[in-house]
Structure 1
Amino acid sequence: MGNINPSLLHVGSTLGAVFMALMVIFIRLKASARPVTIRKIWIPPLGMSTGFAMFVVPEVRFPWWWAVAAFLVGWFIFAYPLMRSTKFEAREGLIYARRSKSFAFILLGLLLIRTVLHEFINQYVSIPQSGGLFFILAFGMILHWRVFMYKRYIRMVPPHAHTPEPEADNII
C-alpha cells in the first residue's frame, strides 16, 4: 500500500467521515426548504454506487459473504433510524421533507457507532478492506432509506402526476 502511515490513514478517514456526516446534516437541513423529487431521491445512491470501483484494487477485496453481511447490516439496522426520522408533507401541491429534530443526532449517533465498529474491525482486516466493508454497509443503509423514501413519495403524489403529459413537439 505504499509508504502511507496506517495511523495517519486511520485518523484521516475518521476526520473524513465526520466531515461527510456534517455535510449530510447541513445539506439535509437545507433540502427541507425545496420540494422532493424522484431525481433527488435516487441521485445519492446512484452517485454513491461509483464507489464500487474501489474493488478493482486487490487490497480492498474480501470474501463475498463479508460483503453480504455488511450490506444486510446497513439495510436492516443502520437504515432504520433514518427511515423513522424521514417524514414528508404536502404543501401547495408539492411534497417536502419535514425537518426532523432528531435527524442530526441520528446521523451523529450512526457515525459514533460506525467509528467504534471500525476500531473493532480494524483489528481483523486491513484498512482498505475495512473501508470497503463500511462503504458496502453505508450503501445498504442509503439504498434502503431511499427505497423507503421513494415508496412514501409515490404514495403521496397525486395519481395524475405519475403519467407524463404528451409533448406536442414529438408528434411526427
Structure 2
Amino acid sequence: MGSINPSLLHIGSTVGAVIMALMVIFIRLKASARPVTIRKIWIPPLGMSTGFAMFVVPEVRFPLWWAAIAFLVGWFIFAYPLIRTTSFEQRDGQVFAQRSKSFAFILLGLLLVRTLLHEFINRYVSVPQSGGLFFILAFGMIVHWRLFMYKRYNVIVPPETRIPQS
C-alpha cells in the first residue's frame, strides 16, 4: 500500500474544512426557521463524538496533554464567538434560534484561524495528528457552545413547564 503525499492531505483537509463550514452555515440558516428542542441541541456533539474512533489508528495518536490543551482552547477561545452570537426568542409558545448576521463571518473567521494554525502546527506534527488535534479542539468548542444553548433553553423553558415530545 503506497503512502499519500502530505501536501495532498493538507489540501484535502483544507478543502474539506471549507465545505464543512459552508454546510454548517447553510444548515444553521435553515435551522433558525424550526423550533429548538433539547434533542436538536445535543445531537450535533453526540454525532461528532463518533469521530473519536479515529484514535484507533496509531498514526493519529499524540500525548494526552496535547489533547487536553486542544480541548481547552476550543472550550475557552473558539466557543466564545459562537456563544456571544447565539440567542433565542419565543414565538407562539416555541423557542427559535435568532439568526445572527455575524454567524457566517465568525464561522469563516474561525476557519481562517484554523487554517493558519494548521500551517504552524504541521511543522511539528504529522497531518493525521493535526487532524486529530483540530477534531478535539472543535469538539471542545461545540460541547461548550451546546452546553450554553442548553442552559439558555432551560431558562426560557424550565423543565417543569415542558410538554413531553414524542
Under TM normalisation by the shorter chain, which class is it?
over 0.9
Aligned partner of residue 35 in structure 1, secondary structure:
coil
Pick the structure with greater CA Rg. Answer: 1
Q: How many residues align?
A: 165
Counterpart in 2 of 1:81?
Answer: 81
Percent identical: 82
Runs of 5+ consecutive residues of structure 2 not aligned to the other structure: none
Please give the residue correspondences for 1:16-165 in structure 2 after superposition, counting only pairs within 5 Å. Answer: 16-158=16-158, 160-162=160-162, 164=164
Kindly state the Cα deviation for residue 158 of structure 1 after the two structures are TM-superposed: 4.6
Aligned partner of residue 155 in structure 2, secondary structure:
helix
Q: Which amino acid aligns with 2:142?
A: I
Q: What's the RMSD between the two structures over aligned residues? A: 1.4
- TM-score w.r.t. the length of structure 2 is 0.96
Runs of 5+ consecutive residues of structure 1 not aligned to the other structure: 166-172
Structure 1 residues 17 and 161 mapped into 2: Cα distance closer, same or farther (>3 Å)?
A: same
CA distance in 2, matches of 1:125, 1:15: 20
CA distance in 2, matches of 1:69, 1:2: 33
Kindly state the Cα deviation for residue 164 of structure 1 after the two structures are TM-superposed: 4.3
Is 25-34 or 153-162 further displaced after alignment?
153-162
CA distance in 2, matches of 1:24, 1:95: 20
